[in-house]
Amino acid sequence: MTDTKLKIHVPGDHIMVGLLGERDEYLRKVEEAFPNADIHVRGNEITVGGPDASIAGHLFEELILILQEGQRLDSRTVLRTIDMVRSDERPSEVLAGKVLKVGRRVIRPKSTGQKDYLEAIAKNVITFGIGPAGTGKSWLAVAMGVQALNAKSVERILLTRPAVEAGESLGFLPGDMLAKVDPYLRPLYDALYDMVEMEGAQRLLDRGQVEVAPLAFMRGRTLNNSFIILDEAQNTTPQQMKMFLTRIGFGSKVVINGDISQVDVKGGKSGLSGLEKTLGGIEGLGFVRLSSRDVVRHRIVQDIVNAYENADSGKP
């Protein structure tokens, strides 16, 4: 690769401060990521030379665009942006656009996969989000549901999930129906509380605008004008999945999430496995596959997911 020399003008002192980070923290992360780039900062100009000048210069341009959209950088955003630029993606298009406004919160995707997932939910009647833990599947689905409820495009949000963990049946667990299913739906509750806080969530539950039910209770119902989220769908049986999909009524939107690598259903036959081959050609139905690159938890989670994927595929 031939050496290139680039000059990048940073428009404004406040952008320069946000770009470099406190005590040049973000600048050092860029230098560590691209050791073959020779980076010099003088005033409001960044000069980049060396074999990695082109990609490092593109990274600075993307970070400047993100800052100009009013976002603040942090270490995780800088590292994520580095990963995306290395993969020839446009992080400014993913990270800088306002996608959802839920109350006072503005929620943006943090990866290209998350952007595709949100766009699929907006576009389709039924969206399947398939990927590992930590990719934001449930959290973003609840955000879309709350936005739809606030916009009055649906009358209620329905949260459901198969209850199969640890071999316990709902009848075995103590308490009323809500108490029995509560442990299984805790991730969805946590996302709901994050969007509308605990008091707001309780009001929605009391009014019936948010309903929580185990998947087994869907049989015989027709679900109209609802935003329905089926979580942990890898733990459905094929019969349960067919039952659920045929409950969907008019004016409803459905998000079905799951991780094929974590099947706990008895016998190991998941209702989510192979479904794309069966249903892939149906209009209004979309599949989005998320990967370790879409994990938005601690960076070590992404490394763990990669390690398991490599082990499953026989890679060292």
Q: What is the pLDDT of residue 188?
A: 82
Q: What is the pLDDT of residue 106?
A: 80
Domains and CATH numbers, the chain: 6-95 (3.30.1370.10), 102-313 (3.40.50.300)
In percent, the amount of the chain with pLDDT more than 70 equals: 84
Query: Which is higher by pLDDT, 64 or 313?
Result: 64
* 3-state SS assignment for residue 103: coil
Residue 97 DSSP one-character state:
S
SS3 call for 251: coil
Mean pLDDT in residue range 288-301 = 79
Q: Which helix (H) or strand (E) holds 41?
A: strand 38-42
Question: Whole-number mean pLDDT of the chain?
Answer: 86
Please tell me the least confidently modeled range out of 197-206, 292-301, 305-314: 305-314
Helix-, strand-, coil-residue percentages of the chain, each rounded to 5: 50, 15, 35
* Locus of tokens 């320069």: 16
Give the global pTM. Answer: 0.81
Whole-angstrom distance, CA of residue 292 vs CA of residue 288: 14
Chain mean position to CA 103: 19
| 212/121: higher pLDDT | 121
Mean pLDDT for the stretch of residues 94-114: 79
- Percent of the chain clearing pLDDT 90 (strictly above): 54
94-133 as b/e: b if 16+ CB within 10 A: bbbeebbebeeeebbbbbbbbbbbbebbeebebbbbbbbb
1 pLDDT band, cuts 50/70/90, is very low
Are 188 and 159 spatial neighbours (Cβ–Cβ below 8 Å)? yes
Alpha carbons 98 and 143: distance in angstroms, whole number: 13
pLDDT tens, residue by residue, 159-177: 988 876 534 455 555 555 5
pLDDT, tens only, 3-61: 678 999 999 999 999 999 999 999 999 999 999 999 999 999 999 999 999 999 999 99
- Residue 195 pLDDT level (bands cut at 50, 70, 90): confident
- Tell me the DSSP string of 222-250: -B-SEEEEE-SGGGS-HHHHHHHHTTB-T
Q: What is the pLDDT of residue 2?
A: 54
